[in-house]
Structure 1
């Protein structure tokens, strides 16, 4: 039966930003692509996208539901530090609309779309990959379907079913579980729709942060934690009260795991490659994932195209190599920041204090907006280095000389 199944160059499992981007790019390259996505999936996400993403992936203005010009950092003691964005903005998108637009763009480029749930993949005696998935038939029953493919991209999120099958141990990657509530935005006079609020408090999250991100007519209020006993719903309820959103209407609630670091390997050495959250490409400390998912999807498409052209499975390795060359240092630095500054409220308090510094603000926004470490101002880097040393020395002194 499977011998008669349709044959594709590539099957992409997962229609989020990474999978949709990979499907779009491969279809543009003339590849025969199937984009398989399960129904009703909306990832909990603050929805922030930097100008670099808007520019590199040709995102139209109508998808931006808000333009943020300031971030407010809130400490455990309610110290509030504004970090204005000079001469730029951070775009905000609604993931339901944004992801569907990306899937439609992939289809317009030539990718075939199907709604179904990936179950497994196997290989026949010629090495062709057989993908098994379930889709809902006209009578409402779930029916098993099969397609054949020369290559498979697993872009099906954290705890990826594709990754679990092709890379032993991939499902044991550490992750934060994120939860948010989309609520109705209050009247303009009582709410700043151009400012993101970020809460660094142990009561909001013992190891991450909480957010209040405007989305035009709605607001995303969320948090995350790797501590299984921590009440995310209780934390979001507290955030809503603190930000004056306790009484507004709740539109929907969503939760999902977010990986904490990239997997050490993204391919199986045969014909399967991971991308996006499935590969673990979410930035530590910030939890930012949309840009890294999309660039990961683009690199996956390029590697798969090379593999299809040459038949050499070593081409699959280039996606991770290129990604880590571009962003590995940023991920390492952010990982150290999360480990150090998010460990207790005393450190969170000092972290927010550091954010008052104009050098810190300028370099933070430059790096975020352009998605690369800023090397143009070495003197500013030196100043920040010594300021960080001062803060850390202050912490050490406080530990050795408690009041």
Structure 2
């Protein structure tokens, strides 16, 4: 009896891996989806309407719809940014959302397996994925034509197979899922996302309180390895009057800051999602980009499997960066300039009060592309941005 060889083994069952597995299985490929048990990524859980449309996600998975965002400056100035008539920010619980995506991949024909990836081996017959079903168990092996690494920012697949993957810059995120207050107030509103641009809460990123219906996510991120994440979240909860809310779970994980320059090894491995570094700078948004990257990886994988030409794997990154590279560049520049000091954070929050900034920000978020239809508004924003950066305009 001949040994089974999968067309693709997807390591990691988050939004990117589950999307890639579902797309490939729907195309008729034999797919094994290998995922660790009990893994929930710390995440604010925000998803734009375009994600719901592009990936056919049911509204029933939304646990809340945020209608505004509140930006809080170092001086505690609060600027509300209403979404208006153009949509909402959907909120999902990652444990439920990710499992739904994995089940959809299985319904499309992907085989699910719970286990921990160890390494990739190669012999004269091809590629072998080594994994363990449980801690302390024996190593098991399965053959495949292609490995898709979607196993997070510290991806073992990437570090073992993609040059310089271990150098990916990251922010470490930590959050606590708490029971939401029973009634809304100025401190907590179940229809509003609060974002804190304060150096005391994060010296180089931001902190947040995001509503999830019956629960809420309160957390922060920082690339500063010595920054006390847990202690700072505890301080936040105390200052906001949320310390008495029931804590449901606590989670932490790295979030990448920049896409890898290469997503494949030119032979039999390609990475996707956080493993490829596709999290938006400045905002830290990753679900939409992970799923989009997973889809592009599936398309490139299908071409590779059809032609047996490894260069087809390069198409995933090329297509992703063609569509989203400019947005990532702009957001990277924003983070570099505006998150560098409390003085600049104060000016950044002041800019958020501008109606032009609010309108174009929400349109770009909803549509996931730079808005080019209002050149005069862009010109006004550019001039205001320069004035704030150079200190020619008051911060408040």
**Length-normalised TM-score, structure 1:** 0.95
Taking the aligned partners of 1:303 and 1:350, their CA distance within structure 2 comes to 43
Asked whether 1:330 is paired with 2:320, we answer no
Q: Within 5 Å, which residues of 2 pair with 1:62-73?
A: 62-73=60-71
Q: Distance in 1 between matches of 2:3 and 2:122?
A: 13
Supply the distance in 1 between the matched residues of 2:116 and 2:389 (Cα, whole angstroms).
49
Asked if 1:352 is matched to 2:349, the reply is: yes
| Separation (CA, whole Å) in 2 of partners of 1:182 and 1:395 | 41
| 1-structure distance, mates of 2:280, 2:136 | 40
Moved more, 386-395 or 172-181: 386-395
Confirm or deny: 8 A CA contact 1:177 1:255 kept in the other structure.
yes
The alpha-carbon deviation at position 142 of structure 1 amounts to 1.4
Matched, 1:297 2:260: no
Q: 1:77 aligns with which of 71, 75, 80?
A: 75
Counterpart in the other structure of 2:207: 210
Contact 2:119 2:131 survives alignment (8 Å): yes
C-alpha distance in structure 2 between counterparts of 1:188 and 1:290, whole Å:
29
For 1:145-192, what per-residue CA distance to the aligned partner results, in whole angstroms no more than 9, with x for missing partners?
111001110000011000011113211211000000000101124441
Q: Provide, for residues 13-51 of structure 1, a one-character-per-residue CA deviation record: whole Å limited to 9, x for no partner.
A: 000000000000000000000000011100000000000
Within 5 Å, which residues of 2 pair with 1:251-400? 251-394=248-391
Pair 1:232 & 2:235 matched: no
Q: 2:197 aligns with which of 200, 204, 212?
A: 200
1:93 aligns with 2:89: no
Q: Deviations over 1:368-393 (max 9, x none)?
A: 01100000111100010001111122
1:143 CA drift (Å): 2.3
Once residues 17 and 182 of structure 2 are traced to their aligned partners in structure 1, the CA distance between those partners, rounded to angstroms, is 37
Identify the residue that residue 30 of structure 1 maps to in structure 2: 28
2:145 partner SS: strand
Say which of 29, 40, 43 aligns to 1:42: 40
Counterpart among 103, 116, 138 of residue 143 in structure 1: 138
Q: Which residue of the partner structure matches residue 401 of structure 1?
A: none
Query: Residues 308-351 of structure 1, C-alpha deviation per residue, up to 9 Å, x if partnerless?
Result: 00011010000000000000011111111101100000000000
- Aligned CA-pair RMSD: 1.5
Q: Tell me what 2:164 maps to.
A: 169
Are 1:156 and 2:151 matched, yes or no? yes
Residues 116-135 of structure 1 mapped to structure 2, 5 A cutoff: 116-126=115-125, 128-135=126-133
Offset from partner CA, 1:210-253 (integer Å, 9 cap, x none): 00000000000010101011000122112212332111110000
CA separation in 2, counterparts of 1:356 and 1:170? 39
Q: Taking structure 1 as reference, are residues 189 and 263 closer, same or farther at Cα in structure 2, changes over 3 Å only? A: closer
Q: Mark the runs of 5 or more structure 1 residues left unpaired by the alignment.
A: 399-403
Q: Distance in 2 between matches of 1:395 and 1:116?
A: 57
- Tell me if structure 2 keeps the 8 A contact 1:210–1:239: no
Question: Aligned partners of 1:236 and 1:383: how far apart in 2?
Answer: 37
- Using the alignment, how far apart are the partners of 1:304 and 1:208 within structure 2? 35
Deviations 1:41-95 (A, max 9, x none): 0000000000010110011111100000000000000000000001110000000
* Aligned counterpart, 1:111: 110
Secondary structure of the equivalent of 1:142?
coil
| Cα displacement string for residues 91-124 of structure 1 (whole angstroms, at most 9, x for unaligned residues) | 0000000000000000000000000000001112
Q: TM-score with structure 2 length normalisation?
A: 0.97
